[in-house]
Amino acid sequence: MNIVVAMKQIPDVRQIRIRNRQPVLEGVPLTFGSIDKNALELGVSLKEAQGSGKVIVVSAGSEELQDTIKEALAAGADEAYLVIDDKLEQADGAVIAHVLAETIKKIDDVDLILCGEGSGDNYSGQAASRIAELLDLPQVGYASAVEIQNGTSRVTRSLEDGEEVLEVPLPLVVTVVADINQPRIPSVTQILKAGRKPQEIWELADLGIEPGAAVETVSNLAPELQRQRVVVKSNEEFTQVLQAEGFTGR
């Protein structure tokens, strides 16, 4: 049984500065989306529980991915299947899903495809659903628990107003929520070994996919914040502020 985890390389959003309302991406380190790391942790722990099979990370992005992927290989992935192409920079979720689906087809005996419920930058949540459709597989989104037993899965989907427990035959596509687990911190040896784990690399042309985008972005600006930042020094001043704002209490 092999488990595929699809991960997206993104700029570390905590380190993005805003200048003239524009996001400054230069010099911002690349990483994987934080919920993608929860998906990887789930994959690795399911594999450990099974005692067999491999965890294979698939990802598509820029050249730096060869370096970023080491994070995932250190955190327990066995192999990486990467699509690296400058042309992917303009690609949107639809193209990425197509690329990942084609890559997953190259992997044998896939029983489970895991993604985060949303990427760390766009949080659009389309890729997993598109991959499931392209591969004609059942899917369960927003999983807060996943068990594998005797060729079937038992997945708990967490919704706004409740949960549902589903039994789904393998293979299937699952997206996980952030609180499903706590990703492990790799040890120094694991980090050192990560560079030696296998990476298979393709370009878009190898997959026969034309880059393109179904979505055009006309502007992307930070909202204007005009806040006064008046310093409040004591509880008395705090109470005065509440009164000035018209909240006097009951």
Q: Which of residues 135-164 bind another protein (CB under 8 A)?
A: 137-142, 154, 157-164
Residue 213 binds which of another protein, ligand FAD, none (CB < 5-8 A, kind-dependent): another protein
**Residue 159: beta bridge partners?**
162
Least distance (Å) between residue 35 CB and ligand FAD: 6
Q: Quick check: 87 and 36 in contact, CB under 8 A?
A: no
Query: Rounded to whole angstroms, what are the CA distances from 66 to 102, 193, 211?
Result: 19, 14, 20
Query: Rounded to whole angstroms, what are the CA distances from 160 to 142, 157, 163, 164, 207?
Result: 10, 10, 8, 11, 38
The owner of tokens 């500065």 is 17
Binding mask 86-105 for another protein (x = CB under 8 A): ------xxx--x--------
Q: Of the candidates 72, 132, 194, 209, which one interacts with another protein according to CB under 8 A?
A: 132
Least distance (Å) between residue 220 CB and another protein: 4
The interface with another protein within residues 172-191 (CB under 8 A) comprises: 175, 177-179
**Residue 30: beta bridge partners?**
11
Binding mask 215-234 for another protein (x = CB under 8 A): xxxxxxxxx-x-xxxxxxx-
What burial class does residue 30 get, using C-beta atoms within 10 Å of its C-beta: 0-12 exposed, 13-18 middle, 19+ buried? middle
Chain residues binding ligand FAD by CB under 6 A are 34-35, 118, 120, 123
